[in-house]
Amino acid sequence: MSHPSSHVSCCASLRQTLLQGWQQTFPLHSSPFRQMAARSGATPRELLSLCQELHRNGALQSIQPCWGEALRRERWRLAFMPPGDEAPLAAALAALPGCFRIERTEPQADMPPLWAEIEALDGEALARQLRQLPAQPMARLRLPSAAEHAQPCDDPEMAGHLEEGLALCSRPFAQCSRQLGCSESRLLSKLHAWRRGGQLAGLALKPPPTRVPQPGLLALWRGTEPTACSLARLQAHSGVDRVISGQGAPAWPWRLGLVLRAAPQLAQDQLREIVGHAGLPPPDVSARLLIDRPRDQALLFRTDKHNG
């Protein structure tokens, strides 16, 4: 005897599980959907069919790699002062494969209106991407790396194929290995080795980043050099999204930058509270902003591609 209501409930639960995503936990296995189905209570066919439907509707991405901290790369924060409307520059930034974050601030004196964060394998790869822009950054800062002993990728071709996304099919690794001209076992062995070494955090099956810009606030200090205690207090606050320490040099004239995730009507009050708790003076300038995410993470090995 069938139970339609139970089936509908099961499908709704499965859909919700998929939309929450397998964050960095997609199985590195020759039959990954069989393993996932065993954990979700669905059949492999049901699970794969729903994944394909969500992908067709734009609600789910293809299977993507999540690079680990031990993969050598550079992360840069850039500030732009476009001569006119910043919309064309923002669109050009979003098309760069390495750009994963764009911030647009409200007009404010002494505040660049456009900011971006880009990851690239090295300085040359960054320069190639910046040459595609209609305007160059007026300031740039290389952000510190979390891994002291990061290593370069030993198979960029394989990494590039992974960044194109694995197909949502019953044997995605077998299909990828055929495109690479190697065996499925060699591909899986390499992925496991990368994960053990920290170069690969895992593979993910998840929705695309939201296209709705998120509100926040950017504050900048030019002459204030924060103490270690102040920095720790800023970083520990749940509303703080970014803490950027600089040297106040010509290439990056700010000694401290702070990005809050905050509703527009609450942003300035939260800023005063957080800054006071950290023992800092008021910032030299602050402005509300909108944060765009062109992609979940930088495409490090697809630098000839313009979309993600």
Tell me the three-class secondary structure of 49-80, residue by residue: HHHHHHHHCCCCCCEEEEECCCECCEEEEEEE
For the chain, the structural domain boundaries read 4-68+152-204, 74-144+210-292
**What's the confidence (pLDDT) of residue 205?**
92
Could you list the beta-strand ranges (E) of 149-272.
Answer: 200-204, 214-221, 240-245, 256-261
End-to-end Cα spacing for the chain: 46
**Tens of pLDDT, residues 85-130:** 899 999 999 999 999 999 999 999 889 999 999 999 999 999 999 9
- Give bridge partners of residue 77 from the DSSP assignment: 117, 141
- CA 78 – CA 75 distance, rounded (Å): 10
DSSP state of 132: T
CA distances from 84 to 81, 113, 289, 291 (A): 9, 11, 18, 20
Asked if the domains at 4-68+152-204 and 74-144+210-292 fall in one CATH topology, the answer is no
Domain at 4-68+152-204, CATH class: mainly alpha
What the block records as the tokens of 231 is 């920095």
Beta-carbon contacts of 49 under 8 Å, excluding residues fewer than 6 positions away, are: none
Q: Which of 229, 217, 203, 226 is nearest to 33 (CA)?
A: 203
Please count the CA atoms within 13 angstroms of the CA of 61 that sit on its side-chain side.
25
CA distances from 203 to 21, 62, 173, 191 (A): 11, 10, 12, 9
- CA 282 – CA 285 distance, rounded (Å): 8
Residue written as tokens 């960095």?
24
**Tens of pLDDT, residues 250-283:** 999 999 999 999 999 999 999 999 999 999 999 9
CATH of domain 74-144+210-292: 3.30.70.3460
Q: Is the pLDDT of residue 308 over 70?
A: no
Residue 9 banded pLDDT, cuts 50, 70, 90: very low
pTM of this structure: 0.89
**Tens of pLDDT, residues 56-94:** 999 999 999 999 999 999 999 999 999 888 999 999 999
What the block records as the tokens of 179 is 């495109």
Is pLDDT larger for residue 197 or for residue 1?
Answer: 197
